[in-house]
A and B are shown apart, each in its own frame.
Chain A
Amino acid sequence: MASTAGTAPVAVDAKPDTGRRRGRTGYLLILPGLAWLVLFFVIPFYSLIATSLYDPNGSDFRGYDMTYHIQNYWTAIQEYWSPLLRSLAYGAIATLLCLVLGYVLAYAIAFKAGRWKNLMLVLVIAPFFTSFLVRTLSWKLILADDGFVVDLLQTVHLLGEDGRLLATPVAVVAGLTYNFLPFMVLPLFASVDKIDPRLIEASHDLYASSFVGFWKVTWPLSLPGVVSGTLLTFIPAVGDYINAQLLGSPNQRMIGSVIQSQFTDANNYPIAAALSMILMVLILVMVLVYVRRAGTEELL
């Protein structure tokens, strides 16, 4: 080991010895996977940027001219700012709700489940193995106008005589919250499970109430899980349009649905690509601001 380390003085003062071998084999092993990602992830992203700058007067039959038509972005924002903002808002609300539900669940599994820990963890993911669309359709049935949830809410007067849940923002946000819950629970659990319960006991010995103990000990220690869980929930939730389409009405249309139909129905590739780029940039900016404020930059 000493002889190999000696040939690379940089590695010596960076970290002791990772036990990693050197040589060409490593590159050969990673090359196919990397090539796939470059071909079908990096290059497509470049095509997306290019497409967003094409002359909008072309079509996929006649072909598009590259005219660096920045105007596409302006058109896209002007026409679709409302589904764009709506998606960000729905995504944010659903993420918050997931955080509350997910935290309770992760905390219960980590500290209260005892020997049922593994079982509960399995139960958390099990429902999500059923098809996303089939699950969402069954929410449609549960929230239906003649369903028992609406009936119940009408009896306790939380909902008016002809009030409904389907085709409202409530249904869409509820669907998003439900479908992305495991993305929140799993990272949260990983973080909460690592917390030494003796630290919490110590806070009670020092006369902290349950709430103060939670706020000053558990919560800060679980922050890495909170940050990665909220990101893993927020990003797919903003881009999703299945819930909005199946549980909402055209008034709850989300940006993913606009992008999809601009591509496949309207054949308006430049605008669709520009919208995709805008969504990506907005999410990126929000994530960066959020991560900076949460003060956990080293996580990314």
Chain B
Amino acid sequence: MGALRAEARNRSDPGMRWVREHLVLILGILVLIYTFIPIFVVVLMSFNDPASRNVYRFDGFTLDNWTNFCGAEGMCDALWKSIQIGILATLASTILGTLAAFALVRWEFTFRSTTNLLIFLPMAAPEIVLGSSLLALFVSAGFAGQLGFWTILIAHIMFCLSFVVVTVRSRLAGMSDTLEQAAADLYANPRQTFWRVTFPLVFPGILGAALLSFSLSFDDFIITNLNAGTTTTFPMYVWGAAQRGVPMQVNVVGTLMFAVSVLIVVGAELNHRRRVRALA
């Protein structure tokens, strides 16, 4: 029966047959193109010369938005604030999270399942609930007037932490300890074993977690907006600008974010391939 059907299919138009065989791939690529449509628009608009601030459409080509990057009032301040918060939140959450991941994979302790639940919940709760709980705490602790840089930072460390633990933990869990045992057999003391064997092996996981933290922190709006007071981060700047008229420099930032992350991913992949080839 199968053969008969295959024959029937062979007799049909070869073009149709090709489409039918590759249908899923074609649809998949269409979905991919769909995910890129807004990126094309962002890149295009970064070269836009707008006729007026109130009309958001492509009017003419210019390099002004790139050369006069900080020309949009307040944007660079907001951007700098986001970068500062992003770096600090990444450092803190990566350190705290990596330590916790080591503890969870390598050490035995009571309340393991409660701890796992506690780490899982912040990732599962809607941001608006996380943000409003923190605000409720800050207000009832009398910090309503001090909302700003530090409260944003506290919030960002909190929601990045779980993602770091999960990322580093999966890297650690997938690693067998044979290399560490070999190091110990070769008279390395625990410290040497850790810094020369374990750490380099886990490092890609830690780096990935740090990059994830930075992008989560840099891009967060809902939690930040609740706990920011009068401080403005980049997403908050865009939000405010959306009400008044969006300066085209915002699209330059969007384009740069896209380009930098693609470069990082491509760099990591090339580095990985080089290592694999060196080992072979």
Contact = CB atoms under 8 A, between A and B. Distances in A.
Interface of A: 11, 18-23, 25-27, 29-30, 32-34, 36-38, 40-45, 47-48, 50-51, 60, 64, 101, 104-105, 107-109, 111-113, 118, 120, 122-124, 126-135, 137-142, 144, 146-147, 178, 181, 204-205, 207, 231, 235-236, 238-242, 246, 255-256, 259-260, 263-264, 269, 272-273, 276, 279-280, 283
Contacts of B45: 138, 141
B137 A23 contact: no
Contacts of A146: 57
Contacts of B154: 40
Given A44-B136, A133-B221, 19 more contacts: A25-B107, A40-B158, A41-B130, A44-B134, A48-B133, A48-B136, A111-B24, A122-B266, A130-B257, A133-B235, A134-B253, A135-B39, A137-B238, A236-B126, A239-B127, A239-B129, A256-B126, A276-B128, A276-B129
A124 B29 CA distance: 10
Q: Which of B45, B107, B235 has its CB near the most chain A CB atoms (within 10 A)?
A: B107
A36 B219 contact: no
Contact of A124 (B35, B96, B255): B35
Nearest to A234: B126
B103 A29 contact: yes
Given A48-B136, A126-B262, A276-B128, A105 B219 contact: no
20 contacts: A26-B107, A33-B99, A34-B115, A40-B158, A108-B28, A108-B29, A113-B25, A120-B28, A128-B35, A130-B254, A131-B219, A131-B257, A133-B221, A137-B56, A141-B57, A144-B56, A238-B126, A260-B226, A273-B136, A276-B129
Contacts of B221: 132-133, 242
Contact of B41 (A11, A142, A256): A142
B42 A130 contact: yes
A242 B222 contact: yes
A123 B157 CA distance: 28
Nearest to B228: A264
A241 B221 CA distance: 10
Nearest to B162: A37
A27 B103 contact: yes
A28 B144 CA distance: 33
Interface residue tally on B, bucketed by range? 35 or more
A105 B177 CA distance: 36
Interface stretch (B11-19, B66-74, B116-124): B116-124
B128 A33 contact: no
Contact of B258 (A130, A141, A205): A130
A30 to B, nearest CB: 4
Contacts of A276: 128-129, 132-133
A122 B32 CA distance: 11
Interface string B94-111: 001101101111111100
A256 B269 contact: no
B106 to A, nearest CB: 6
A138 B42 contact: yes
B270 to A, nearest CB: 12
A273 B222 CA distance: 15
